[in-house]
Amino acid sequence: MRFMMIMLPNIPNVEEANWTPDAEAVAAMGKYNEELAKAGVLLALDGLQSPAEGARVSFAGGNASVTDGPFAEAKELIGGYWMIEAASKEEAVQWASRCPAADGDTIEVRRVYELADFPPEVQEAGRLSQEPPAQTSAS
């Protein structure tokens, strides 16, 4: 089963300066990421740049409106994610618990949808343009 671990850091007033972690934090996180990789569970990860440089697109009345960062009213900011392979939610939670996160940080653990999770009609609707070609001979 795939899980996404989403880092929600506790940074009350976001600026470029306080978004990027210090060398010590980077080293600790690097060690954790390596631990995930060596345990054979890490599939992918990314860190996101500061929300101050980002944008939010909001939808209302059928219209999209854009707000540039920083998002002063935002309750939660997203710092980055890991995608891991685990046999159970408990295992994913175990891994998340081992992250060298700072006080006030939260990691949300969510299971990733796989195509097989959907009923056949939904799978069919989601299928892109390709029709499987007629059975050919070579394997």
Partner 1 sequence: MREGSSYPSAARPAGAVRPAGKARRTQAAERAVEAVWRIEAARLIGRLARMVGGDLGLAEDMAQDALVIALERWPQSGVPENPGAWLMATAKNRAIDQLRRRRRLESKQEQLAHELPSAANEPADESVSEEEIEDDVLALMCVTCHPVLSTEARVALTLRMLGGLTTREIARAYLVSDATMSQRIVRAKRTLAEAQVPFELPEVSELGARIGSVCEVVYLVFNEGYAASGGEEWMRPELCREALRLGRILVGLTPAESEVHGLLALMEIQMSRFGARIGPAGEPVLLLDQDRTRWDRLLAGRGLAALARAQALARAAGEAIGPYALQAAIAACHARARTSAETDWERIAALYEALAQLAPSPVVELNRAVAVAMAFGPQAGLALVDALAAATPALRDYRLLPSVRGDLLARLGRHAEAHAELERAASLAHNARERRLLLDRAAACAWLSQ
Torsion of CA 68, 69, 74, 77, to 10 degrees: 130
List the beta strands (DSSP E) in the chain: 2-8, 42-47, 55-60, 63-68, 80-85, 106-111
Least distance (Å) between residue 32 CB and partner 1: 12
Instruction: Decide if residue 13 touches partner 1 (CB under 8 A).
Output: no
Among the listed ranges 40-48, 49-57, 58-66, 101-109, the one in contact with partner 1 (CB under 8 A) is 40-48
Q: Which is nearer to partner 1, 25 or 44 (CB)?
A: 44
Binding mask 108-127 for partner 1 (x = CB under 8 A): ------xxx---x------x
Nearest to 49 by CA among 79, 90, 23: 79
Nearer to partner 1, 58 or 139 (CB): 139
Q: Could you give the string, one character per residue 83-112, with x where binding to partner 1 holds by CB under 8 A and - elsewhere?
A: x-xxxx-xx-xxx-x---------------
Choice between 32 and 71, CB closer to partner 1 = 32
H or E element in which residue 29 lies: helix 23-38
65 three-class SS: strand
The number of angstroms, rounded, from the C-alpha of 99 to the middle of its chain's C-alpha atoms is 15
Q: Does 40 bind partner 1 (CB under 8 A)?
A: yes
Map tokens 């990314």 to a residue: 46
Residue with tokens 């309750």: 75
| Site residues, partner 1 (CB under 8 A) | 37-44, 83, 85-88, 90-91, 93-95, 97, 114-116, 120, 127-128, 130, 132-133, 135-139
